[in-house]
Amino acid sequence: MSDSESKVDSGVPEVPVPADDTPEVLNKALSGLSSRWKNWWVRGILTLAMISFFFIIIYMGPMVLMMIVLCVQIKCFHEIITIGYSVYHSYHLPWFRTLSWYFLLCVNYFCYGETVTDYFFTLVQREEPLRILSKYHRFISFALYLTGFCMFVLSLVKKHYRLQFYMFGWTHVTLLMVVTQSHLIIQNLFEGMIWFIVPISCVICNDIMAYMFGFFFGRTPLIKLSPKKTWEGFIGGFFATIVFIFMLSYVMSGIRYFVCPVEFNSDSNSFQVDCEPPELFQLQDYALPSVLESVTGWNTVRLYPFQIHSIALATFASILGPFGGFFASGFKRAFKIKDFASTIPGHGGIMDRFDCQYLMATFVNVYIASFISGPNPSKVIQQLLALRADQQLHIFNSLKAHLMEKGLLPALEEVAA
């Protein structure tokens, strides 16, 4: 084995530590404070700035939100790939960066192509080039990936075989963690903006409140991977997140803009968020347990069903969501770095802020599929319209026979009459 490979196998790779990117104006304003309180104020100010930016992009609508998700995805991918490049930079691996970005392009083409086919069906069927691309989308995606795979094989150099396969795996794991889960975020968004905003708010609230409880009351270490995390912060963040999300869900459930699915209007060629709110977002009466009834004097309370689901989301974000952060902490410790980058002063890189969000996005997508949504009638109709006339007629006759057998068709005919 060469000396260079021995260095990688036996020692921890060295990654350059980013310089302090705290704005000069903040450094001057906070120069008299201890490092602990300086970091508190820097994090606080930048957190308020990021929350303000979050409100702005929500106001700008779903299309802007999707573009922001794509930009965040690309930046997170860049930060993780840059670490890999910094670790093995001295070996001058052929085509490593080029192939990494090429694979990112391929996976995004596949994911966003699937989204366009599902949610922009009318537009796709109207335009001949889009219809062809949609029909052969998966074959084109596979051909693109296969091209990159062959390029990787052709780039193999005898003395760097092991390192090149390291980085091939590095790139694919990064794609799995970042691109796939950011695609799930966009799918959640199409279910209704509330399924995008509430989960993100769960993680943000838990992160802020865990930090505050830990900062002021933290005494007991939580996990060795992240020494600054404390049990006091973990428990305080959990209860604070439950209360905040329960109230936020009540406010948002009454606003159609947030609860209606995001749909594409082919007539106006724009997104529309308007519908009759489903039962999930309609106030209902719930009987209180006898214990709470004796304390409050109320027999029932009026809540939105979504508020019950929001407790499940907040619980996951508070108890299991932090494990995304612990995973990221272990990754950074493996390479002896404090943050993924220094994009946001006091916070690190974009990946440092989104390590828990990606895990949360997967949970929300699975939760919606398991407990909320059923078959989508509009998608079923889209698929039927794409069939041949004889196939459509066969399905019509089968459906008619089924409805008559169930005794539903006469009732429908009477209503029509």
**Closest C-alpha among 351, 353, 338 to residue 177:** 351
| pLDDT of 235 | 95
| Token pair listed for 253 | 């459930």
Give the phi and the psi of residue 34 in degrees, each rounded to 5: -70, 160
Helix and strand totals (H; E) in the chain: 20, 6
* Residue 190: how many other CB atoms lie within 10 Å: 19
Q: Both tokens of residue 206? A: 């838990």
Instruction: For residue 117, give every residue at least 6 positions away whose Cβ sits within 8 Å of its Cβ, in sequence order, or none.
Output: 124, 134, 137
Compute the Cα dihedral for 43, 44, 46, 47 and give only its sign. Answer: positive
Would you state the structure tokens that stand for residue 344, as one six-digit string? Answer: 């946001």
Strand duo 284-287 + 300-303: pairing: antiparallel
Structure tokens at 35: 């490092």
Q: Give the per-residue pLDDT at 273.
A: 82
Token digits of residue 258? 């947030």
Q: Which amino acid makes up residue 356?
A: C
Domain borders along the chain are: 33-93+157-373
Cα separations (Å) of 79 from 13, 42, 68, 76?
16, 22, 16, 5
Pairing of strands 221-223, 226-230: antiparallel
Q: CB 184: neighbour CB atoms within 10 A? A: 19
State the pLDDT at residue 299: 87
Beta carbons within 8 Å of 369's beta carbon, 6+ residues apart = none
Per-residue model confidence (pLDDT) at position 21: 59
Residue 405: the pLDDT is: 85
pLDDT at 213: 94
Which helix (DSSP H) or strand (DSSP E) does residue 236 occupy? helix 231-253
What is the radius of gyration, based on Cα positions, of the chain?
26
Which letter does DSSP use for residue 348 in this model? B
Mean pLDDT in runs of 10 for the chain (417 residues)? 43 52 65 73 80 88 89 93 76 81 96 84 79 91 97 90 89 92 91 94 93 90 86 95 96 93 74 85 90 84 95 96 90 85 77 88 94 75 80 89 82 52
Nearest by Cα to 200 from 256, 258, 254: 258
**Burial of 36: CB neighbours in 10 Å, binned 0-12, 13-18, 19+:** exposed
